[in-house]
């Protein structure tokens, strides 16, 4: 039996903050004691002790694998770099979001995604990774090759979460064609005529492929017991469709109406932590803080900035009207764990995994001092 004692910590529990000690035995939390209950151990000197963070939607791995156009890094090495940044941000469980269903703008293909998934599997098997990694398949349902890409992951046990995405201009994330035109033409320099043709083509492809791909995904996920998520729902009709397909998680709803409908339907509502940190959506959609203030926010995701997960929790607790630190921390630990069926983590409580993060606050900045996964220090 191995035992570690964390002393003199401010421990963030499910509903309160406890000043005291935590005893870990064989990778599990064994006891939560009063200050000075043990004479020896790791002295945290009043730092915060949080449960390890659980990240459900990050495509950050792609930026390490394809850091420049036409550059492909070694997949295993790219994963190591990504994993190190994930762990140093306090994340002990991560769902790496890999896309299937490509269009002409895609820099990567389904084969690249399979290569990255293989690297994740090998890294876990060889104990090279600091965090525990799973796969979240982001499925572009408007794409003709989506199910072909999905087939590359058939029976892959790493796939624990699947999201149905549709980035067709004129709906969901890109409801405003004018805003999308400004964004897209600014990025590509495309002419007005070419842009109009692009919109027409993508809308036609969505009409042809999206309904059938959604049904097929829902069926496969139901058969395999994979948690299903919707993406960028904007209307009550979108939410109704998601419920019919067996969706459990509503990712990045773009309006208050869609978030409220999702919440009332029993779906967990996920928003981006960068949205909290920046004070709003970068694409002009609903602010995550507005949903938090309305009691409509269940889960936060770091999306494209791993450290934003921890930063957003402390920021919400400091500036939010109706949320304290235990509730804010639950958004990045217990709630995402429960949303994906992981009842063994996400909370500092006896019997739970000893996934722990020591955080020191310096001039308002949360500084990760140490991270443990199942009682073993990983950062």
CA distance linking residue 358 with residue 51, whole number of Å? 9
> Residue 322: which of 359, 347, 296 has the closest Cα?
296
- In whole angstroms, how far apart are CA 67 and each of 191, 263, 311? 28, 37, 25
Structural tokens at position 292: 């938090």
Q: What are phi and psi of 247, to 5 degrees?
A: -65, 140
One pLDDT digit (tens) per residue for the chain, 379 residues: 789 999 999 999 999 999 999 999 999 999 999 987 777 899 999 999 999 999 999 999 999 999 998 899 999 999 999 999 999 999 999 999 999 998 766 789 999 999 999 999 999 999 999 999 999 999 999 888 999 999 999 889 999 999 998 877 666 766 666 767 766 777 777 788 877 777 778 777 777 888 899 999 999 999 999 999 999 899 999 999 999 999 999 999 999 999 999 999 999 999 999 999 998 776 668 999 999 999 999 999 999 999 999 999 999 999 877 899 999 999 999 999 999 999 999 999 999 999 999 999 999 999 999 999 999 999 9
Among 327, 307, 308, 309, which residue's Cα sits nearest to residue 317? 327
- Note the pTM of the prediction, 2 decimals: 0.93
Contacts of 25 (CB under 8 A, 6+ apart): 1, 2, 3, 375
Which residue segments constitute the domains of the chain, with CATH numbers given? 51-346 (3.20.20.140)
Q: How far is CA 174 from CA 18, 90, 145, 197, in A?
A: 45, 32, 22, 16
């Amino acid at each position: 039996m191995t035992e570690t004692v964390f002393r003199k910590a401010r421990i963030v529990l499910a509903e309160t903050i406890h000043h005291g000690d935590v005893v870990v035995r064989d990778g599990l939390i064994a006891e939560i004691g009063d200050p000075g209950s043990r004479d020896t151990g790791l002295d945290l000197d009043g730092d915060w002790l949080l449960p390890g963070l659980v990240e459900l939607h990050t495509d950050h791995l792609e930026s390490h694998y394809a850091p420049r156009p036409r550059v492909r890094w070694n997949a295993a090495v790219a994963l190591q770099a990504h994993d190190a940044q994930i762990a140093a941000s306090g994340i002990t469980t991560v769902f790496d979001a890999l896309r299937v269903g490509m269009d002409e703008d895609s820099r990567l293909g389904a084969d690249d995604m399979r290569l990255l998934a293989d690297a994740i599997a090998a890294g876990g098997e060889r104990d090279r990774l600091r965090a525990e990694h799973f796969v979240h398949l982001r499925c572009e349902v408007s794409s003709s090759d989506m199910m072909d890409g999905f087939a590359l992951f058939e029976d892959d046990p790493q796939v624990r979460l699947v999201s149905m995405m549709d980035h067709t201009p004129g709906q969901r994330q890109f409801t405003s064609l004018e805003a999308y035109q400004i964004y897209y033409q600014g990025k590509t320099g495309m002419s007005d005529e070419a842009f109009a043709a692009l919109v027409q083509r993508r809308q036609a492809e969505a009409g042809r492929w999206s309904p059938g791909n959604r049904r097929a995904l829902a069926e496969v996920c139901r058969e395999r017991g994979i948690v299903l998520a919707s993406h960028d729902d904007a209307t009550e009709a979108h939410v109704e469709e998601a419920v019919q397909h067996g969706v459990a998680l509503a990712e990045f709803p773009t309006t208050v109406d869609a978030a409220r409908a999702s919440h009332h339907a029993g779906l967990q509502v996920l928003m981006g932590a960068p949205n909290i940190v920046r004070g709003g959506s970068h694409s002009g959609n609903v602010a995550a803080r507005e949903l938090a203030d309305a009691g409509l926010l269940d889960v936060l995701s770091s999306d494209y900035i791993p450290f934003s997960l921890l930063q957003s929790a402390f920021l919400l607790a400091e500036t939010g009207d109706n949320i304290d630190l235990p509730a804010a921390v639950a958004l990045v630990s217990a709630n995402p764990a429960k949303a994906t069926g992981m009842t063994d983590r996400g909370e500092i409580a006896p019997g739970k995994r000893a996934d722990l993060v020591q955080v020191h606050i310096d001039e308002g900045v949360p500084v990760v001092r140490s991270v443990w996964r199942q009682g073993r220090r990983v950062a």
